[in-house]
Chains A and B, each alone.
Chain A
Amino acid sequence: MESLVTFGLAVLHLFGFYALLAVGLGLVFGQLGVVNVAHGEFVMVGAYVMYALDAVPFVLRLALAVGVGLVLSLLAEWTILRKLYSRGMLATLLAMWGLAIVLRQVAEAVFGATPRSVPFPVQGSVDVLGVRYPTYRLLVAVVSLLVVGAVLLVIYRTSLGLKLRASIENRDMAAVLGISPRVMIAGTFAVGTTLAVLAGALNSPTLGLTPGLGVAFLAPAFFAVLMVRPGSIAGPAVGALLVALLSSLLRTYFTETVADLVFFAALVVLIAVRPAGLSWRLPSWLTRSSERVA
């Protein structure tokens, strides 16, 4: 029982972290068609903002990190991506790869390569069904999932979200109905990327801060996006849960290195077998009968 609770808490924490990352990554891919390989570096940016502004109270620092994320992502969209959409996915992927390198180098130039750490704002641990668990980790998991829930709520239940989904489905037609493609594109990139910055900021006390810390998070986040129906907005959150489960399971039974190896091997196999993502829908012969009644 105890080990099950411990396992559940580990999954919950990873789920919150990867859900923030994957929903942002999926939104950006759905709206912009951009494979944002700099997503992990935005996690790193969030963590370093928390380190650099250590004199500021923690919650205010989180807000500042979100602000930095919004400004940085809007700048990146405006100066780099906007000119490249028409050149296709490879051009934007390479540009984002370049941006990732620049962000890592800037972090190294400013903060050095030695690992830094951010002190916990909340000490101590709480009792969860008989298991002692760090209070801050639990808080982070809950806050992360609440943020993801709020983002999905806005997308599926508000008129702004309706416009966003229309723009993802058919950008030209949405424009013909008065929805500005420029605003939708820049806004989606800013929100999606800032979710990654927030993930880095929230988790900064539990991370060892190095300029390359974001690299390891990119692949699992992609895994989460790829595991669901392409273009789905809520899907990556489900993918994040599967990633958290798989990764926690592997780490229970294997050493970290072997676990990572198996995890990434599974990712390669998934991409090789289903390059367009998995579709968790019923086979067509099961659903066909009810349709076609015109």
Chain B
Amino acid sequence: MLEVQGLHAGYRDARVVNGLDLRVEPGEIVALLGRNGVGKTTLLKSLFGLCSVFAGEIRVDGTPVPGGRPELLARSGCTLMPDDRGVFPGLTVEQNLRLAARRGYRPVVDVRAVYPLLSERADQLAGTLSGGQKQQLGLARAVLAGSRLIAIDEFSQGLQPSVLEASVEAVRTVARSGVAVLVVEQGPEIPLRFCDRIVVMVKGGIVLDATAEDLRADPSRLTDLLVVG
């Protein structure tokens, strides 16, 4: 589904991602872990052409992704929830959701059932939601818009435990319907529970790529890379 080869990306005078290779298959949930500043967010942004790609190639289903044209990727069913959630503060919750809905695609989970809050506050301006509520709106939009690939930065940010459980379940269900999912997380606990594969970044490159099953048997391989020190 998603193939990244030899990617060098970053901002005008800072290369953040250095020669990175990554694959995500349809229906697979891949977690991207790493300490602050290793380039996780930059990698997600570069997939969507929101920062500079210096070298390397990004392909979706074998077709190279045109640089700097996120709308083309979006129309093919790939979407991103950025770390600031990217809600439109001056639009209502319902309008935010309507903008994410794709013609001809209905996700297998009903986001309004997963996040009842979004129906309760349909007419409220998204800018007046709390952080955790914005997170729910951002996740709901991602599920609505991502018929082929959903990339989520800071998946569990601001979510209370019960909502986190519901979100995990929703993402699993969507993935089972064939959508590729790439989530960025700070800690290993949540990804170890529900992701298929875990990828760890250090200094703009990937240092560990293993199935969650293998890592559950030997979590020290993971924690050594994530603990500061």
Contact = CB atoms under 8 A, between A and B. Distances in A.
Contacts, number: 63
B91 A169 contact: yes
Contact of B80 (A162, A169, A176): A176
A34 B75 CA distance: 28
A247 to B, nearest CB: 30
Q: What is the interface residue range for chain B against chain A?
A: 20 to 34
A175 B74 contact: yes
Interface stretch (A51-59, A98-106, A107-115, A178-186): A178-186
A177 B50 contact: no
Interface string A132-161: 000000000000000000000000000100
A256 interface: no
Interface string A229-257: 00100000000000000000000000000
Most buried by A among B74, B79, B132, B145: B74
Given A162-B98, A176-B70, A178-B145, A170 B75 contact: no
B48 A176 contact: yes
Given A173-B82, A173-B86, A294 B133 contact: yes
A172 interface: yes
Contacts of A177: 74, 79, 99-100, 141, 145
Nearest to B151: A176
A172 B128 contact: no
B184 to A, nearest CB: 15
A178 B86 contact: no
A162 B100 CA distance: 12
Contacts of B141: 177
A165 B74 contact: no
Given A175-B74, A294-B130, A163 B88 contact: no
Interface in A37-54: none
Given A166-B99, A291-B128, A175 B71 contact: yes
B219 interface: no
Interface of B: 48, 50, 69-71, 74-75, 79-80, 82, 86-91, 95, 98-100, 102, 128, 130, 132-133, 141, 145
Given A162-B91, A180-B71, A291-B128, 13 more contacts: A162-B98, A162-B99, A163-B99, A165-B90, A175-B48, A175-B74, A176-B50, A176-B70, A177-B99, A177-B100, A179-B71, A181-B71, A294-B130
